Amino acid sequence: MASKSWVQKLTPAAPHGSELLKQERAKSNIDANQLAQFLFTKEALERNERILKLLTADPVFDKSHNYFQGREARIEASLAKAKRLRQLQVQHNWTQDEFMCANELLSEATPYGLHYSMFLVTLREQGTPEQHKLFLEKAENYEIIGCYAQTELGHGSNVRGLETTATWNAADKTFIIHSPHLTSSKWWIGSLGIVATHAVVMAQLSVNGKNYGPHPFVVPVRDMITHEPLPNVHVGDVGPKFGFNTMDNGYLLLNKVKIPHVNMLARFSRIDPETSKYTRPANPSLIYGTLTFVRADIVLKSGSVLARGVTIATRYCAVRRQFQDQDAEASQAGENQVLNYTMVQYRLLPLLATTFALHFTGRGMIRMYQENQKRMSASRDASKSEDTKRHPGPEELNPGTDLLADLHATSCALKAYGSTMAAEGLEVCRRACGGHGYSSFSGIGSYYADYLPTVTWEGDNYMLTQQVARYLLKSARAVLAGKAAANDTTRILKAFLARQDMGAAFDVLGSDTDLVDAFAWRVAFLTFEALRHRDEEKQSWNSLLVDFWRLSTAHAQYMVVKSFHDALSEPATQESLPQDTITILYQLFRLFALHTLEQEASEFFMSAATTVRQIQLARKASMKLLEEIRPHAVRLVDAWSFPDWQLDSSLGRSDGKVYEDMFHRASSLNALNKVIVDPYPNSRVLFKKDGRTSKL
């Protein structure tokens, strides 16, 4: 509906959002650019800017209809974007970092999403040189488009329970891939729904009647020319989802489909085609390292995921005014900025602190991962082939290596904690925007919905906590037996044992290192409690799952608190940032730690890490920190450096033109407003549009 002239003349009531954000930025002495460079490096920021220019110049990447489109239109548009991104990648000879940066700015999963990640990675890591020639090269050139088909309709996390079978047929040297039941249908497989021509199918390998467990097979699923499903293949899209609707998650049923011997990815396990002899992998935990890297990356991202919501909500709560302060003098006319209310600060600012906490934690994890890779590669056979550059091959991995085991447990605990915090925090941010948070134009709801699978994939967040607990119990047993390796986990367990008869006396409000130590104490206490339940009281594993989940969460919180503190204490930090900024970062550290301590109060006093009085004082100290951080809130979110185009949010606009943008989108972009409706119940007419009349 074209706006009338009197509508076009309207402006928001004063003070305008743009003015309010200006005032906010004037109130703080933080240099957001400097902080941004410290967080991301100057190079990364420049790269983002360069790629942003390319994307915004191309109408294919126009976002203005995203919130209005239905599923089919969205996935069609997303395929177009995916194709163009690939074209740009070739045209500009983008590095992997540049390509991923473009995807981040686009901020939607595309139908190529699983092709360029899991499909390529699996072929690369698990294929032989012959298979690289046959499949990987074509896949890298997008001559075949693939996906990774593991999960089944009836089987998620439990890979060993998969039903799909791959039966070796020595007579003609083929495998028969078969889906025996409806529940064996592959399900949720990204990029399979409409685009994949090939799938890496995980299937139970059966040789001469013996089951060797799940193995990967390359299975063609659609005709390379017509793109129709191949004979005996039933493949399609699994339908609409809560979010992620630009991705074609698919299903796949195979009716005794025959594939040649070479289609079993054979770098680690193989069948000798002549003797039918099966060769076992030297080490069954083949992708230990890859999974650890993927999880470390989820942790790092969880900070920026949450930061998007916090950026939007913080800016909008600085623009939005509602009610007067209850104690304000009658003379103080005008409504109060919502961000001035302590109830809003209490919801938002600890999340602001969490964004930095998770960022530093993720960065620390990636660094630990890289150090470990380096250490292992130093001791590696020099004759190693070059194809494992980006991800570690099995020979580089020795799960017995304590550092790797520690890193793996850490990655499990932090993946579960970080992604849960990010997902739940986004929803808190959305609600902190009040009614307008519910509009798609807030930009938070759809992003939240798209992010949610992260709490389930790469290890369900609850399932993962069992692995963390198992590792901590094992470490505790080693410490008690005097056989523990030297790492941070055994250090905190030993420190606890050394003082358990003296008790703790952590000065959590007076000393930052004591604050970190109190979190360590709680982890050690819960570990030995769990150990007592399991080893002495012989309680069943199942009966302890809730304890294990609590333990894993406590472990994650300790590591986040420690990583945040370590990052701030590094000389590099002290040299890169002015003292004022460092002071605010320390306040954010304290807010994160004390807020968490308060949320988990009962475990802190039960473990005697703190007294009850200290918890009461922690509440008070948190409220004081909110007040201190409040003036810097807008500049702190500015440091996250999200371009408006990336956020695609009316509420989170960096210029504060919230209401103008909301109104423009509703009034000018909304196709529903072109419909003429017959509203009366006794008329059968519903909609009239473009000459079409629909009827009841």
CB nearer its own copies, residue 25 or residue 665: 665
CB of residue 596 to its own copies, shortest distance in Å: 13
Give the closest residue to 584 by CA, choosing from 638, 630, 530, 615. Answer: 630
CB nearer its own copies, residue 7 or residue 26: 7
Q: Coil, helix or strand for 633?
A: helix
CB nearer its own copies, residue 153 or residue 287: 153
Segment 310-339, which members bind its own copies (CB under 8 A)? 321-323, 325-327, 335
Question: Hey, which residues does 174 pair with through a beta bridge?
Answer: 169, 260
CB of residue 567 to its own copies, shortest distance in Å: 29
591-620 mask for its own copies (x: CB under 8 A)? -------x--xx--xx-----x--xx----
As a whole number of Å, the CA-based R_g of the chain is 28
CB nearer its own copies, residue 137 or residue 143: 143
Whether 695 contacts 686, CB under 8 Å? yes
Binding residue (CB under 8 A) for its own copies from 161, 260, 281, 284: 161
CB of residue 335 to its own copies, shortest distance in Å: 6
Burial class (CB in 10 A: 0-12, 13-18, 19+), 25: middle
Binding residue (CB under 8 A) for its own copies from 48, 228, 405, 551: 228
- Distance between CA atoms of residues 672 and 687, nearest Å: 10
Is beta strand 198-207 parallel, antiparallel or unpaired with respect to 257-260?
unpaired
Q: For residue 340, state whether it binds its own copies (rule: CB under 8 A).
A: yes
Q: For residue 342, state whether it binds its own copies (rule: CB under 8 A).
A: yes
CB nearer its own copies, residue 145 or residue 523: 145
Phi-psi region of 552 (alpha: psi -120 to 50; beta: other; left: phi over 0): alpha
Q: Is residue 456 within a helix (H) or strand (E), and if so which, with residue range?
A: none
What is the CA angle 562-566-571, rounded to 5?
175
Segment 519-578, which members bind its own copies (CB under 8 A)? 540-546, 549
Q: Coil, helix or strand for 524?
A: helix
Phi, psi (rounded to 5 degrees) for 227: 65, 15
CB of residue 67 to its own copies, shortest distance in Å: 5
Segment 235-274, which members bind its own copies (CB under 8 A)? 236-244, 248, 251, 253, 255
CB nearer its own copies, residue 151 or residue 654: 151
Segment 415-434, which members bind its own copies (CB under 8 A)? 427, 430-431, 434
CB of residue 595 to its own copies, shortest distance in Å: 11
Phi-psi region of 128 (alpha: psi -120 to 50; beta: other; left: phi over 0): beta
Whether 231 contacts 275, CB under 8 Å? no
Residues near 169 by beta carbon (within 8 Å), at least 6 away in sequence: 175, 176, 258
345-374 mask for its own copies (x: CB under 8 A)? -x----------------------------
Q: For residue 4, state whether it binds its own copies (rule: CB under 8 A).
A: yes
Tokens of residue 194, six digits: 């409409």
Segment 643-662, which members bind its own copies (CB under 8 A)? 659-660, 662
Segment 166-205, which members bind its own copies (CB under 8 A)? 179-185, 187-188, 193-197
CB of residue 548 to its own copies, shortest distance in Å: 8
72-111 mask for its own copies (x: CB under 8 A)? xx-xx--xx-xxx-xx-----------------------x
CB of residue 310 to its own copies, shortest distance in Å: 18
CB nearer its own copies, residue 30 or residue 662: 662
Task: For residue 12, say if its preceding peptide bond is cis, omega within 30 degrees of 0.
Answer: no
Q: Is residue 113 within a helix (H) or strand (E), and if so which, with residue range?
A: none
Q: Coil, helix or strand for 630?
A: helix
The maximal CA–CA distance of the chain, rounded, in angstroms, is: 94
Work out the angle between the directed axes of helices 579-599 and 612-629 (0-180°, nearest 10). 140
Using the rule CB under 8 A, give the single segment among 341-349, 353-361, 377-385, 553-561 that binds its own copies. Answer: 341-349
Binding residue (CB under 8 A) for its own copies from 40, 586, 645, 687: 687
Whether 489 contacts 544, CB under 8 Å? no
Residues counted in the chain: 696
The catalytic residue among 458, 600, 627, 628 is 458
Report whether 151 belongs to an annotated binding site.
yes
Segment 438-457, which members bind its own copies (CB under 8 A)? 438-441, 445-446, 449, 452-453, 455-457
Give the closest residue to 142 by CA, choosing from 87, 101, 223, 95. Answer: 87
Give the closest residue to 524 by CA, choosing from 549, 545, 551. Answer: 551
CB of residue 514 to its own copies, shortest distance in Å: 20
Whether 551 contacts 468, CB under 8 Å? yes
- Distance between CA atoms of residues 441 and 659, nearest Å: 11
Report whether 122 belongs to an annotated binding site.
no
CB nearer its own copies, residue 407 or residue 524: 524
Specify the residue for token string 């076992």.
280
Segment 35-74, which members bind its own copies (CB under 8 A)? 60, 67-73
CB of residue 424 to its own copies, shortest distance in Å: 9
Active site residue 424: no
Side-chain half-sphere CA neighbours of 103 within 13 A? 21
CB nearer its own copies, residue 383 or residue 602: 602
By CB under 8 A, the count of residues binding its own copies is: 146
Using the rule CB under 8 A, give the single segment among 138-146, 272-280, 584-592, 632-640 that binds its own copies. Answer: 138-146
Binding site feature residues for FAD: 151, 190
Binding site feature residues: 151, 190
Q: Return the active site residues.
A: 458
